[in-house]
Amino acid sequence: MTPLGGDRAAPLGGGRIGTWTKLPALESVQIAAHAGFDFVVVDQEHAPLDLRTAYELITVAAALGTTPLVRVADGAPSGIQRLLDAGAAGVLIPHVDTVEQARDAVAAVRFPPVGRRGAGGTSRAGRWGLRSREEYLATGEDALCVPQIESREAVGNAAAIAAVDGVDALFVGAADIGLDVAAAPSAPEVTELCGAALRAAHEAGIPCGAATATARGAAALLAQGFDFVVVSNDTSMLAEAASSVVHTIRGNGGPS
């Protein structure tokens, strides 16, 4: 699989695998890094992770050589700016349905003249003022802007969204597309819509990612042509392991 989107999008090309981080625990990121995940996505959309917790998880991931991304709760520029200043390598922005929303996302990620992000060179991204202004501003050029395609409308606009200057990759949310069209994520209609978004991203020369609960599902998505995959999450992996232990013991006639 050939990485798409140039050097900036390289962390999301070539079959990279990551996982969602939902627990406010540094150990989650450490375990993911030591297990070999290429990136982690700190999940502020579907987990109660505040800015300070995200900051700590980002710091640990970066220190261990694992790319730290954040799925923000929404496209609010103030939240995106603070996460990038905290050192996040990029953001996934939920429910980007239109070109206008994609442009707003880019504006929140990029410094002027491309965007409207404010300068905060005394932040972690600026090494607390030790980086030169030029070095700090370069972090804005490198930051990944990844709109999430999660509705029939978004799929219809995927080609135009992918073509917006400053969009580095698309991320397809099959579960939310399924909700939008009143079908299961595995339904043929949803599969076709996800495939259409994937084709739109590749025609624009940028990577496209998706999420799945299992390793087998991840392998299938990569075989389908997705460039990066988010597999399971820290809470589900812990829950499944705990459930397996109890089931194995009690299922084999152990104490109840």
Q: What pLDDT does 7 receive?
A: 78
- What single letter denotes the amino acid at residue 51? L
Mean of the per-residue pLDDT values for the chain?
95
Predicted pLDDT at 1: 34
Task: Tell me the pTM.
Answer: 0.93
Query: What is the token pair recorded at 126?
Result: 């600026």
Establish if 111 belongs to a structural domain: yes
State residue 17 phi and psi, 5-degree precision: -125, 140
pLDDT tens column, 76-112: 999 999 999 999 999 999 999 999 999 999 999 999 9
Would 6 be classed as within a structural domain?
A: no
Which residue is it, tokens 């709109």?
Answer: 147
pLDDT of amino acid 173: 97
Q: How many domains does the chain have?
A: 1
Question: Does residue 213 lie in a domain region?
Answer: yes
List pLDDT tens digits, range 224-252.
999 999 999 999 999 999 999 999 999 86
Catalytic residues: 46
pLDDT in tens, 195-219: 999 999 999 999 999 999 999 999 9
Q: What range defines the domain where residue 81 resides?
A: 11-251
Q: State the CATH number of the domain containing residue 207.
A: 3.20.20.60
Does 256 map to a domain? no
> In whole angstroms, what is the distance from residue 81 CA to residue 84 CA?
5
